Amino acid sequence: MKFVVGVDDHDSTKAGCTTHFSSILLEKLFLKNCKISELPKLVRLNPNIPWKTRGNASISFIVDCNISLCELEQLVSDTSEKYVKKISMGYNLNRKPGYAILEYDKYNLIKDKLESFYERAVSDVIPLDLAKKFAKNNKILIGGSRGLIGSIAALGFDEDYTFELLTYRKIENWNKDRDVDNKSIMEADSIFFPKVVANYDYFKNKPLILSHGRDPVFYGLRGIDPEILIKEMNIIKAKEELDFFMIFKTNQMTDPHLKYLGTRYYQTTSMKIKINSIRIMKGGHVIIEGGYSEMLVIVYRESRELNSLAKELKRGDLIHVSGAIKPSFNNSKILEAERIEVLYLNDQINEIPLCPICKRRMESVGKDKGYRCKRCKTFANSKTTKSISRNITLGLYQSPLYRHLTKPIYLNLSKPEINEEELINNILSKMIKRQDRYVSTMVSS
């Protein structure tokens, strides 16, 4: 019988990762002769939620097994519990792992509803109660706690995708620093870019692919073709022996959060702004004040090119800004810019006129009453208009430091012809054949 399984929140600040857990779960099902014919999906949810863990990712996959729904649930919940107890230590660290399971036939019947749930999870905040009610009404088997929200959302993802290949470390290395030959990353980047992205930060001269902290991920490679990701993996030289790898289909780098916009806190929004003023703060952040909205836009220094662009904007320019709505210190809304499209550049500025006789700046007589030279009393009715040259051009600007969901401007989301069934079966076959399966046996019954 065919099932769809979603899992989430199997990581913690100490160890573990939901993608790692899902790979081990797939391995376990593969060993039980379940048929797996598609790559698992890695779904990133609303990037603006402050209480998310590192990446706010959940996983879903389809399996065809010779067991009942009840038996499958037992297996998933058992493996989940062992993983969280023995590997991620998540229960002690306030993690709330969860899962969601559904028969494939039923899944097809409620696909529209699941897709709406996913859309909401990627663009808004879904309360636990609502997720539980949704599961009950749609007869989705759920378990665990808050993680069930992401688990259900992962079932509903069926849109544009890219791929991520994740490599995992052997358990004895989890506490060690990650060491990789940087040259090999740059070499792979030079061969495969732009089919692979975000490999290396040439500005800071350090790799972008490495995971941080004590989670089992060594590195993640992102791109639009899984075969190329495998070639890239074979070029990159990690300075330790890795445990296994997995490839996921993912909503990363496809802009899903920009499809479903809102106006509440932690939603992503998008708006046109005619600029009133630009303020550059101490530290380099830029505040943009606009004419159509009371919401201030902040462009953080860390956004590099986007921040440099913002510093060049002037009163009268027209821009289209996309970003996250966050509460500011006085509880009003601010918009954290993620992308700016420059629609119009004002190349004229109005200035207080110079006295034609004394060549000194005149002074205002009063609001709308004109200007006068203090020395010779020469009078002018209005400001003078002056043409200025601009250092920027119209177009789309965004930070080179991508958030997971943001699509790089140059990325072409074409779908390669691949045999997913062959690919996932090769990966799992390699996984079960590895000599040291210590991590996998830790969560086996």
**What is the distance between the alpha carbons of residues 246 and 430, in angstroms, rounded to a whole number?**
10
Task: Please say whether the beta carbons of 409 and 398 come within 8 A.
Answer: yes
Taking the least distance from each CB to Zn ion, the nearer of 180 and 380 is: 380
**What is the distance between the alpha carbons of residues 61 and 307, in angstroms, rounded to a whole number?**
39
DSSP three-state, residue 320: strand
Q: How many Cα atoms sit within 13 Å of 153 on the Cβ side? A: 31
DSSP three-state, residue 174: coil
Interaction residues for Zn ion, span 58-117 (CB under 5 A): none
Taking the least distance from each CB to Zn ion, the nearer of 272 and 372 is: 372
Give me the least distance between CB of 380 and Zn ion, in Å please. Answer: 10
Taking the least distance from each CB to Zn ion, the nearer of 70 and 358 is: 358
Strand partners, 247: 165
Give me the least distance between CB of 360 and Zn ion, in Å please. Answer: 6
**What is the distance between the alpha carbons of residues 57 and 318, in angstroms, rounded to a whole number?**
35
Give me the least distance between CB of 370 and Zn ion, in Å please. Answer: 14
Taking the least distance from each CB to Zn ion, the nearer of 158 and 363 is: 363
Taking the least distance from each CB to Zn ion, the nearer of 213 and 356 is: 356
Q: Residue 200, Cβ neighbours under 10 Å: how many?
A: 18
Helix 226-235 to helix 182-192 angle (10° resolution) is: 150
Taking the least distance from each CB to Zn ion, the nearer of 314 and 383 is: 383
Query: Which run of H or of E encompasses 113?
Result: helix 111-123
Give me the least distance between CB of 385 and Zn ion, in Å please. Answer: 20
**What is the distance between the alpha carbons of residues 377 and 393, in angstroms, rounded to a whole number?**
41
Tokens for 58, please give them: 């959940």
**What is the distance between the alpha carbons of residues 234 and 212, in angstroms, rounded to a whole number?**
21
Taking the least distance from each CB to Zn ion, the nearer of 380 and 423 is: 380
**What is the distance between the alpha carbons of residues 123 and 396, in angstroms, rounded to a whole number?**
22
- Phi and psi (nearest 5°) for 374? -65, -35
**What is the distance between the alpha carbons of residues 252 and 250, in angstroms, rounded to a whole number?**
5
Contact mark string toward Zn ion, 342..381, x via CB under 5 A = -------------x-xx--------------x-xx-x---
Give me the least distance between CB of 311 and Zn ion, in Å please. Answer: 35
Give me the least distance between CB of 350 and Zn ion, in Å please. Answer: 20
- Phi and psi (nearest 5°) for 387? -80, 140
Give me the least distance between CB of 376 and Zn ion, in Å please. Answer: 3
Give me the least distance between CB of 336 and Zn ion, in Å please. Answer: 48
Interaction residues for Zn ion, span 214-243 (CB under 5 A): none
Taking the least distance from each CB to Zn ion, the nearer of 241 and 363 is: 363
Give me the least distance between CB of 348 and Zn ion, in Å please. Answer: 25
Contact mark string toward Zn ion, 258..287, x via CB under 5 A = ------------------------------
**What is the distance between the alpha carbons of residues 12 and 24, in angstroms, rounded to a whole number?**
17
Taking the least distance from each CB to Zn ion, the nearer of 7 and 355 is: 355
**Residue 246 in the binding site for Zn ion (CB under 5 A):** no
Residue ranges in contact with Zn ion by CB under 5 A: 355, 357-358, 373, 375-376, 378
